[in-house]
Amino acid sequence: MSALNSSKDEHPLRRSISGLLQSGLYSDATIVCDDQTFHVHKAVICTQSAYFARAFDKDNGFKEACTNVIELQDVSSAVVRSMLEFMYHCDYTKCEDPNEDLIANIYIYNAAEMFQLKELKEAAAQRFKAGADTMSGLPMLRAAIESIYEGTVEQDRCLRDVVVEIAVRKMDKLVKDSDFNGILERVPTFSKDLVHGLHSKLKEKSGTASKRTIRCPGPFCRRERAFDAETYQNDSFWDY
């Protein structure tokens, strides 16, 4: 993974906060995930995430508020590291491999939703969209579809719409891919979205193909107008 760049022009306060995550100095809480331990600061993470604010609030009666330790099990340590990087640096490390980075952004997007980090969710979505068009190969598309549909709710259309649009464009190849047919069976919500996407594309093509341009039939009229079969209404067609 490529390291984050630190600007010499960065404000001293921002620079000092950025260094706290790596040094662990003055930390007052600990996040444990997989085999990784992160020494964090409540003033940084609780002011950005309602999830952590509730967990460390003594009034809520959670044990984390007494132990100052929170264990995370539904997310990987790599994703937690990226999430914390963003909270301290306003950015997170990019994977050197484009395909790896693409999938990583999906997991980070899902984690941002879980931990209620709106800005991180927006950043991960932008990165995913920027790299989605360069997605190499059908295996990557299949992996992206499953990761997105497993990690997001049906109402969250941001990443779902991106992979549906790509699938519609690549449909000629996908229908010949047996593994893709397996996804259609395993992820019925994607199948439904794909049907709607194909239907919209078909309507768009049909509407474009049916357009015609004709000249007004009157002997002294030189008007021309585009029309389709559904809107053409004899003489009234020219009443505009």
Q: For strand 36-40 and strand 29-33, is the pairing parallel, antiparallel, or unpaired?
A: antiparallel
pLDDT at position 238 over 90: no
The reported pLDDT for the residue numbered 155 is 95
**Complete DSSP assignment for 100-160:** HHHHHHHHHHHHHHHTT-HHHHHHHHHHHHHHHTT--HHHHHHHHHHHHHHHS-TT--HHH
pTM attached to this predicted model = 0.80
Higher pLDDT, 10 or 159: 159
Q: Grade residue 135 by pLDDT with cuts at 50, 70 and 90.
A: confident
Which region among 80-89, 133-142, 168-177 has the lowest average model confidence (pLDDT)? 133-142
Residue ranges of alpha helices (H) inside the chain are 12-23, 42-45, 50-55, 64-67, 77-89, 98-114, 118-132, 137-151, 158-169, 171-174, 178-186, 188-209
Task: Indicate the length of the chain as a whole number.
Answer: 240
pLDDT at position 219 over 90: no
Residue range 208-225: average pLDDT?
55
pLDDT at position 93 over 50: yes
Q: Is 176 helix (H, G, I), strand (E, B) or coil?
A: coil
pLDDT tens per residue, range 105-128:
999 999 999 999 999 999 999 999
Higher pLDDT, 14 or 114: 114
Domain boundaries, the chain: 136-206
Mean pLDDT computed over every residue of the chain: 86
pLDDT tens per residue, range 168-206:
999 999 989 999 999 999 999 999 999 999 999 888 877
Q: How far is 87 from 70, CA to CA, in rounded Å?
A: 17
Distance of CA 164 to the CA centre of its chain: 13
